[in-house]
Amino acid sequence: MDSKEIRRRFLAFFEKRGHTMLPSAPLVPENDPSALFITAGMQPLAPFLMGNPHPGGRRLANVQKCVRTQDIESVGDATHDTFFEMLGNWSLGDYFKEEAIRWSYELLTSTDEGFGLDSRRLYITCFAGDENAPRDEESACVWRSLGIPENRIYYLPVENNWWSPGENGPCGPDTEMFYDITPAGLGELTHEQFLWADDSQQTVEIWNDVFIEYEKRAGKVVGKLAQKNVDTGAGLERLAMVLQKKDNIFDADLFAPIMAELPAGDGRNASVRARRIVADHVRTSVFIATDGVSPSNTSQGYVLRRLLRRAVRFADLLGMPPLSLARIAGCVPHAYADIYPELETSQGAVQELFEKEETLFRKTLHRGMREFKKLSHANISGHDAFLLFSSYGFPFELTAELAREHEIAVDEAGFREELAKHQELSRASTEGKFKGGLAGGSEKELKYHTATHLLHQALADVLGESVRQMGSNINAERLRFDFAHESKLTDEEKQKVEEIVNEKIRENLPVQSVILLREEAEKTGARHFFKEKYGDTVTLYYIGPDLAHAYSKEFCGGPHASRTGELGTLRIVKEEAVSAGLRRIKAVLE
């Protein structure tokens, strides 16, 4: 079964069971300063898990693009990658454990409308319980009723079977499904044998049902939510691997076009790992770049730069000619032509970006390697690690990886201190922004969210309707707005934009919303994030007395201030180029 059919069967299964199909959100979260990328299908749905009504109803499903880099050191084994597609279905205060588990099992094992997997190869884990929540006997009971024997159900602690987005937000226990991929089958396993089979990748996690009924604040579970939610997820790449009877994701169809373009290697583990790392990092970089990110030393751009430069190093280990990554990038859209057509239309620009970044890195790569070899006789100080970063373009992770290969240590804390002295990194980045998480909803952030809508419209008023939103980032201290425009704003243009926004603030206009069919919403002339895909119904926020006479109209999930008069005064503090044709404004409310 190819990946296209897996997607189709998944969505058809849940559509038949009353779920609204949602499009994938862009990889870069909008108005979420706590996360660099979408790391799970539920991330864009966080406000609705907390009780806000969703325009699509209480049953939802989609296939969501995701990027996670916290396990980057594991890439190269059988199952880890940095980009993946998450098949997910959600219940927002509707069905709970019984239906979620039963449907997961039916889809996995049914031969008529599901994937036809052998139920005798399934192993199940449930939450063992702790001081915050009891042992999940309810889930185990459902599994037993479906025919899963008691000795294939294992209870694991919070580290394994509890899902949480970070320090704050909705959370809860989960039940996970593992599949035996060995040729002969493992049969019955003790608890310890199952853990060993998981560690050795003889079993593969293929599905996860999270039962979100608790709330965490400042790292502690504080109680139950007003509604019980279900968030399920299945990694497409792992399902494809299992259904195509492969023992690793890189031999399945999604990676096949990329792997076919890489050197065969010598069969040694190091060579196999290098091929997989190059394939993974190129694929992830293509998706990130297609969603509008350019390499840089901060935020999403830093992740892209890290991936590309790591790919260059492993391509060199494979003996690939310089500038090979751009050619390999051209293979990625073929596996996704019917799913993400934007990959095809952006292909030329993405390949050019790859060539520029590799050329830039290679200017200093060899000198940097010579410098590293000079330092590698002893542990590397934070100052030296920063020198490799600032002078030779080595991301810290590359220095750390080289150090591990030479069995020496790197002073990461010292490096971070040096970095803080020399660069303007946001607090979120320096304190662990790469871990992902959910956006805050403070009063100040709501005001900045509303101010962003005013700024977007004011820019169009001053610069023309060619202005298009390319991304935004909001925290409690400022807003950042990226937009398509060819030239630097003059002082007069910036002043005029400020004047328009502040005039609308002084008018104390109401901020209102309405849920419409997408076609009806588009007819109103409302602005929407040009790369976003929308479902059949959308929430439209408008600023003004009514929709017909609104100053600003945008597709948006909210939330916002209730009136513009609450915002204060907007001041543009910086306007700069991000890349060719892309400008960035940073502004504050005073």
Q: What is the pLDDT of residue 432?
A: 35
Sheet holding 511-517, edge to edge: 511-517, 537-543, 552-555
The annotated binding site for Zn(2+) is made up of 449, 453, 556, 560
Q: What is the pLDDT of residue 516?
A: 77
Nearest C-alpha neighbor of 123 from the set 200, 175, 158: 175
Look up residue 535 and give its two tokens. Answer: 């479902």
The whole-number average pLDDT for the span 299-323 is 91
Query: Which residue reads 């201290």 in tokens?
Result: 477
DSSP-derived letter for residue 483 is: E
Q: pLDDT band for position 533 (50/70/90)?
A: low
Q: What is the pLDDT of residue 423?
A: 47
Tell me the domain boundaries of the chain: 3-251, 256-435, 443-589
Q: What is the pLDDT of residue 45?
A: 82
The whole-number average pLDDT for the span 508-536 is 77
Q: What is the pLDDT of residue 34?
A: 66
From the candidate CATH numbers 3.30.70.260, 3.30.930.10, 2.40.170.20, 3.90.180.10, the one assigned to the domain spanning 3-251: 3.30.930.10
Q: Is pLDDT above 90 for 470?
A: no
Q: What is the tens place of the pLDDT at every residue in 432-468?
A: 333 333 344 567 888 898 999 999 999 999 999 888 8
Q: What is the pLDDT of residue 155?
A: 96
357 vs 366, higher pLDDT: 357
SS3 assignment for 272-293: HHHHHHHHHHHHHHHHHHHCCC
The whole-number average pLDDT for the span 541-546 is 88
* Pairing verdict, β 468-474 and 570-579: unpaired
Contact residues for 407 (Cβ-Cβ < 8 A; gap 6+): none
DSSP string spanning 219-252? Answer: TEEEEEEEEEEEEEEEEHHHHHHHHTT-SSGGGS
Q: pLDDT band for position 428 (50/70/90)?
A: very low
Burial 242-264 (b: 16+ CB within 10 A, else e): bbbebbbbbbbbbbbbbbebbee
CA 304, CA 401: separation in Å to the nearest integer?
Answer: 17
CATH topology of domain 443-589: Threonyl-tRNA Synthetase; Chain A, domain 2 (3.30.980)
Q: Does this chain's domain 3-251 share its CATH topology with 443-589? A: no
Q: What is the pLDDT of residue 558?
A: 67
Contact residues for 277 (Cβ-Cβ < 8 A; gap 6+): 75, 76, 310, 311, 314
The annotated binding site is made up of 449, 453, 556, 560
- From the number of C-beta atoms within 10 Å of its C-beta (0-12, 13-18, 19+), residue 159 rates as exposed
Within 409-466, residue ranges assigned H as helices are: 412-422, 427-430, 443-463
Q: Is pLDDT above 90 for 173?
A: yes
Q: What is the mean pLDDT of the chain?
A: 87
Q: pLDDT band for position 528 (50/70/90)?
A: confident
For 330, list phi and psi in degrees, rounded to 5.
Answer: -65, -15
Look up residue 350 and give its two tokens. Answer: 């993405």
